[in-house]
Amino acid sequence: MTPYQEEFIHFMVRSGVLTFGDFTTKSGRKTPYFVNTGNYKTGAQAARLGDYYAACVQEHMPDGIDALFGPAYKGIPLAVTTAASLFRNYNRDLPYCFNRKEAKDHGEGGSMVGYKPQAGDRIAIIEDVVTAGTAVRETIELFKSVADVQLKALFVSVDRMERGTRDCTTLDELREDYGIAVYPIVTIREIIEALHNKPVDGVIYIDDDMRARMEGYLAQYGPRA
């Protein structure tokens, strides 16, 4: 695990984004942990979040990207702060764009805001946490009516490493179905490794009992060998 990944895990805990307890996911699964990126709410958090995404982009794709795309709504600030951080920290000035939920029927019209993708552009999607992959699949369909681009990569904050509709994880489904590279900043396994019996600001969030619950959840909903 790289230093920025471990820092990111601590950052999520301190921001109240990564929490532990008893939760129910949108799919109805009972889970002992939850990642709610809607809890980021300050300028400092937004700037640091962009730095972690940018570090992940720079590590895995130091070149080969022409623009960033943030799916509405949570992906919009993620794409913006990632683009800003890439310029600030790596001198990469990538344009960004995002979609409207409803196409605009006045002015210049259309469903895209920001950079207008061109045929042949290599696009990286910036998302928060992918559960079923619905937003990503919608993005792929959206671009079919925008321009003949190459969707090269998907960057997400956390890979929950859960099954999708098949025996593999949702992210692996996207890799297999669309040939898109998928890069999480961290995986749930890395979160367990970083926090198990290791305090953050004096608090242990994953003790032996919580780790057993998380391992049980992954055994139930993780990919089948």
pLDDT tens-digit map of 3-35: 999 999 999 999 999 999 999 987 788 999 999
Per-residue pLDDT, averaged over 37-55, amounts to: 96
Is 106 noted as a catalytic residue in this protein? yes
| Residue 106 confidence (pLDDT) | 47
Residue 93 pLDDT more than 50?
yes
State percent of the chain over pLDDT 70. 96
Is 104 noted as a catalytic residue in this protein? yes
- Write down the domain spans for the chain: 3-221
- Do the beta carbons of residue 49 and residue 81 sit within 8 Å? yes
Instruction: Provide the whole-model pTM.
Output: 0.92
Instruction: List, for residues 110-142, the tens digit of each pLDDT value.
Output: 678 999 999 999 999 999 988 777 778 888 888
Q: How sure is the predictor about 104, in pLDDT bands with cuts at 50, 70 and 90? A: low
Q: The domain 3-221: what is its CATH number?
A: 3.40.50.2020
| Residue 130 confidence (pLDDT) | 82
- If one compares 146 and 41, the residue with the highest pLDDT of the two is 41
Residue 87 pLDDT more than 80?
yes
Per-residue pLDDT, averaged over 174-193, amounts to: 94
Residue tagged active-site, from 26, 41, 101, 106:
106
What are the tokens at 6? 């471990």
State the greatest distance between any 2 C-alpha atoms of the chain, in Å, as a whole number: 58
Tell me the C-alpha to C-alpha distance, in Å, between residue 75 and each of 28, 81, 156, 191, 195.
23, 10, 10, 22, 27
Residue tagged active-site, from 41, 104, 196, 198:
104
For 98, phi then psi, to 5°, come to: -150, 170
d(CA 124, CA 53): 12
Q: How sure is the predictor about 40, in pLDDT bands with cuts at 50, 70 and 90? A: very high
Question: Beta strand pairing status for 30-35 and 67-70?
Answer: unpaired
d(CA 48, CA 44): 6
What are the tokens at 150? 């190459």
Angle at 156 between CA 151 and CA 160, to 5 degrees: 125
| Residue 145 confidence (pLDDT) | 85
Per-residue pLDDT, averaged over 94-105, amounts to: 80
Min mean pLDDT across 111-115, 184-188, 211-215, 217-221 is at 111-115
